[in-house]
Amino acid sequence: MVSEQLLSAIEGAKVLMVGAGGIGCELLKTLALSGFQDIHIIDIDTIEISNLNRQFLFRQSHVGQSKAKASTFTCIFLVARDAVLRFRPNISITPYHANIKESRFNVDFFKEFDVVLNGLDNLDARRHVNRLCLAAHVPLVESGTTGFLGQVTVHLKGETECYECHPKPAPKTYPVCTITSTPSKFVHCIVWAKELLFEKLFGNKNQENDLNVSSSDASNSSEHSEDVFECRIDEEIEQYGRRIYDHVFGLNIEVALSNKETWKNRNKPRPIYSKDVLSEKLTKQNGNTEKVSATDDVSAMSSLALKNPQVVWSLAENSRVFLESLRLFFLKRGKEIGNLTFDKDDQLAVEFVTAAANIRASSFGIPLHSLFEAKGIAGNIVHAVASTNAIIAGLIVIEAIKVLKRDNNNYRMTYCLEHPSRKLLLMPVEPYEPNQSCYVCSETSLSLEVNTHRSKLRDVVEKIVNARLGMNFPLLMLGATILYEVGEDLEEDMVAVYAANLEKALSELPSPVISGTVLTVEDLQQELKCCINIKHREEFDEKEHDGMLLSRWVEPPADKDGNKPIGNGESPSSVLPTEEILEGEKDVEIQETSEPTEMLQGRKENRPMFRKESVPIMLKKKGRSETDDVDLSDCTLMALTMSWQISAKVGVNCDIFLVGTVLSVFQSFGHNFGYGC
C-alpha cells in the first residue's frame, strides 16, 4: 500500500501538464486515477477528426474545440463519472487553451507548480518549457512517442542534464534539384506533389518553380506565352485537367531528358501523357458530378468507387484519381482555390497528392504506394500506437511520484523499444549529469564565426538568436550598449532605433561588432542569458549556407582514457535512434535511422538493468537483505515490461494496470521474484 505520507504528497501536489494530445489524454487519466487532485493543462490545439482514433477523451462532438477544455469536460463527465469522482470527488482540472509561449506563462507562473509534465510535439516548445523550468527550479518530466518507440526523461537543475544539454538533430530536408529533377525515392515525389504542384494549382499561383517549363520548340507559341496553370476561357474542366496532366508528367519530363549530362549515370524517366493511359471519353470513365452532392464529403475515391485506401492503385487508377480530384476541387471547392494549403486531414487533398506522386514515381521507375502510406509520408506522420502512449503516460507518473518523494537516487530515463534488447522492452538508464558545455544550464559561452562586414544584425537575430538559440524576446548587448531589444513596453523612438540597427552590418553598428568582441544575449521571459564570442571569417563553404557558424566555446572534457565523458558528455539520443522522439500522431520530420536495439547493444555495460538476478544485488546496495520488502522503485520498470505476466498472476485487469493502479500493481511485481511487499 502507498504510505500516507506519499499519498498526502500526491494529493497536495500542483501539477502542470503541457500538451493534451495522445500522451496528454493518457496522462490526464493516469494522474486522476493515481490520486492527483490539482492538475493544470495548457494546449493550443483544437481537436481534429484524425485525433479520435487514439485520443480517447475526445468524441465526434468535440471536433473543433480546444483540446485542453474538451479533455477536462470529457475526463470529468465521462471517465470520472464512473471512476474518478467516485473515489476522488474533489479533483480540480484547470484548462488553458493557449500557447505556452504567451507572456502570462512566465517564470513566476511555473514556480506555482511542484512538477511539470511535458506531452509536446515540437522541439521549439520543449526548449521553451525546459528553460522556464530551469529558471523556476521546477522539476521537468519530458516525454515523447514515435510509433512503438517512446521515452521519458527527468530534468532537475544542477542534478541531471537539461533537455538542451545535447543538440537535437536537424529535420530531414531534400535538395530542390532532387525534388524537381532527379527523384529517387517516393518521398521525393510526395514533396514535389505537395509543395510544388498542389501549391501551384490550388494555393499561391504566383509562386515560381520548375513546373512552368516549356520546350524549346514551343517557347514562342501562343500556347506557352501564357501561364499553363491558368484555366482558359471556355475551357472545360476535363480538358484543363488533361492539359495539366500532359504538361507536368509529359512535357516537363521531355524537357528534363534534353539535358543528357544528367542521365549519363541515372535511369532515364519516361514521359507519360493522358492519351497513353486513359481513353478520350473522360467524363464517363472518370466520375459523375451528380454523384457528389453539396452535402457529401467530396472524395475522388467515392466518385470512382475506390474503397480500400491500403490498396496500391495502378497507373490508370492514379491517373483517374488525379483528374477526378482536380475536377472536384474546381467544381465543389472553387471558392477555396488560391488560398489552399495541403492538410493531411483534407481527404481530397490527400487523394490528389497521392495520385500525382504515384504518376511521377511511375515515370521515374519508383515503386508506387497506397493512399494510406502516401498520407503518412505527406503528413509527416509516424502512425501513433495508443498502447505506447499509455505506457509512456504511466512512466511519466512514476517519475513524477519519485520527484514528489525526492527519491533522487532512483530517477530513470526510460526508453520504450520496438524490439527487445537484453530481453527488455523498457530500457532504464540513470540520468546523466549536466553537460558542462551546455549554454542553457551551465552558462557556457558560445562562439560565432561570421563575416562582420557583410552579415547584418538581422541575420544574427533571425538565424542565430531566434532559430538556433530559441529565444522569443531577445535582448542583445555589446558591453553596456543595447543593440536590439524586443518588448511590449518599448518606446516608439527606441523601436525605430532597433529597427534601423537590424539593417546594418555588424561592423557598422553604433558599437561595432567585430572579431574579438563578446555579444551578450538574454531572453527576459525565459530568464536565459549567454555570451557569444565573435570571430570574423571571410568565406564560408556551400554547406554553411547561412554564412555563419555557431559552436560551443568550451569543448566537453575527455576522460582519462581520452574517450567522451560517460556521465555528461553522451546524449541519451545515442541510446535511441538519431531522431528526436516526438508524440506519434503529430508532424514528425522524416528521418533515416538504424534500429535502436543495435545501438543499445553497443552501449557500455555501466547502466543498471533490472533482471531477476539483479534484485539481490540491488537490495544489498541499499543495505537490505533479500528477505526485506522490495522498494516500490525497485519494481517499477520491470513491472511494465512484464505486465501481461503480472496481470495473469494477480488477476488485475491489464488496462487498469497500465494506466490507473500503477502503484498497487508495482508492489505485486515483487511477488513474481518471491519477495514480500
Per-residue cell: 417: 523499444
**Hey, what domains does the chain have and what are their CATH numbers?**
4-169+383-435+621-672 (3.40.50.720), 184-365 (1.10.10.520), 446-554 (3.10.290.20)
- The grid cell for 600 is 543499445
- Determine whether the annotation assigns residue 660 to a binding site: no
Q: Comparing 182 with 56, which gets the higher pLDDT?
A: 182
Task: Indicate whether 352 pLDDT > 90.
Answer: yes
535 marked ligand binding residue: no
Q: Is 562 known as a binding-site position? A: no
Mark 332-368 as b/e (b = at least 16 C-beta within 10 Å).
beeeeeeebebebebbbbbbbbbbbbbbbbbbbebeb
d(CA 213, CA 195): 17
Strands 92-96 and 38-42: parallel
Phi and psi at residue 38, to the nearest 5°:
-130, 95
Higher pLDDT, 105 or 613: 105
Average pLDDT over residues 389-396: 92
What is the grid cell recorded at 284?
A: 464517363
Q: Which spans in 111-267 are helix H?
A: 123-136, 176-180, 186-191, 198-202, 237-246, 252-257
Question: Would you say 635 is a known binding-site residue?
Answer: no
24 is in an annotated binding site: yes
Model confidence band, residue 351 (pLDDT cutoffs 50, 70, 90) = very high
Average pLDDT, the chain: 75
461 or 630, which is more confident: 461
pLDDT category of residue 60 using cuts at 50, 70 and 90: low
Report whether 624 belongs to an annotated binding site: no
Is 14 labelled a binding residue? no
pTM over 0.75: no
659 has pLDDT over 50: no
Is 377 marked as binding a ligand? Answer: no
Helices of type H across 171-281: 176-180, 186-191, 198-202, 237-246, 252-257, 274-277
Residue-by-residue DSSP string for 72-104: HHHIIIIIHHHTHHHH-TT-EEEEE-S-TTSTT
Under 8 Å between Cβ of 376 and 582: no
Query: What DSSP string describes 420-485?
Result: EETTEEEEEEPPPPPPTT-TTTS---EEEEE-TTT-BHHHIIIIIIITTT--SSEEEEETTEEEEE
Of 177, 189, 416, 531, catalytic: 177
How would you class 437 by CB atoms within 10 Å of its CB: exposed for 0-12, middle for 13-18, buried for 19 or more? buried
All 3 cell numbers of residue 474?
531577445
Which residue is listed with cell 496500391? 312
Q: Return the higher-pLDDT residue of 625 and 192.
A: 192
Cβ atoms of 400 and 15 within 8 Å: the answer is yes
At 553, the pLDDT band (50, 70, 90 cuts) reads low
Active site residue 189: no
Predicted confidence (pLDDT) per residue in 154-181, tens digit: 999 999 999 998 877 666 667 777 888 8
Q: Report the pLDDT value the prediction gives residue 147, as an integer from 0 to 100.
A: 83
The whole-number pLDDT of residue 49 equals 53
Per-residue pLDDT at 656 exceeds 80: no
C-alpha cell at 376: 503518412
Assign 524 a pLDDT band (cuts: 50, 70, 90): confident
Task: Report the alpha-carbon distance of residue 212 to residue 247 in Å, rounded.
Answer: 9
pLDDT in tens, 561-596: 443 332 323 333 333 433 344 444 343 333 333 333
List Cβ neighbours of 175 (8 Å cut-off, separation of 6 or more). none
Query: Residue 533: what are its φ and ψ, rounded to 5°?
Result: -80, 125
CA distances from 84 to 5, 35, 41, 79, 662 (A): 21, 9, 17, 7, 15
CB 50 within 8 A of CB 344: yes
Mean pLDDT for 402-408 is 90
Number of other CB atoms surrounding residue 315 within 10 Å: 18
